């Protein structure tokens, strides 16, 4: 489990954190926060360095896109989904597990 402040997150700017030894990409989109595994299933690149459009994130290395809400791979070359983490928000507090 990891905790961070909602107001520390910039809209549509992903950040990498660690949750129980696992690299996680956390992204704020409007009033929502999403957390998926930070490592692209195609190339092992860090998704927190990618570009966010709506609720999609694009891997900077080969352009694979993933759904931030579910971790589902949306475009090739990625075919495997990412793990999606549980996100709870209470005011300014965001807990990821």
Q: So what's the pLDDT on residue 13?
A: 98
pLDDT bucket at 29, cuts 50 / 70 / 90: very high
Q: So what's the pLDDT on residue 62?
A: 95
Domain count, the chain: 1
Q: Cα(56)–Cα(78) distance, rounded to whole angstroms?
A: 14
Q: So what's the pLDDT on residue 8?
A: 97
* pTM for this prediction: 0.95
Q: So what's the pLDDT on residue 76?
A: 96
pLDDT bucket at 90, cuts 50 / 70 / 90: very high
What CATH code is carried by the domain that includes residue 15? 2.102.10.10
Domain membership of residue 70 as a residue range: 2-96
Q: So what's the pLDDT on residue 81?
A: 98
Torsion sign across C-alpha atoms 68, 13, 11, 3: positive
Model confidence over 31-47: pLDDT tens digits?
999 999 999 999 989 99
Q: Say if CB 96 and CB 26 are below 8 A apart.
A: yes
């Amino acid at each position: 489990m990891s905790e961070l402040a909602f107001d520390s997150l910039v809209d549509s700017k992903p950040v990498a954190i660690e949750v129980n030894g696992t690299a996680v990409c956390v992204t704020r989109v409007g009033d929502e926060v999403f957390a998926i595994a930070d490592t692209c299933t195609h190339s092992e690149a860090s998704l927190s360095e990618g570009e966010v459009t709506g609720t999609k994130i694009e891997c900077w290395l080969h352009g694979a896109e993933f759904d931030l809400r579910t971790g589902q791979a949306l475009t090739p070359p990625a075919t495997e989904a990412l793990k999606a983490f549980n996100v709870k928000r209470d005011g300014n507090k965001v807990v990821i597990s």
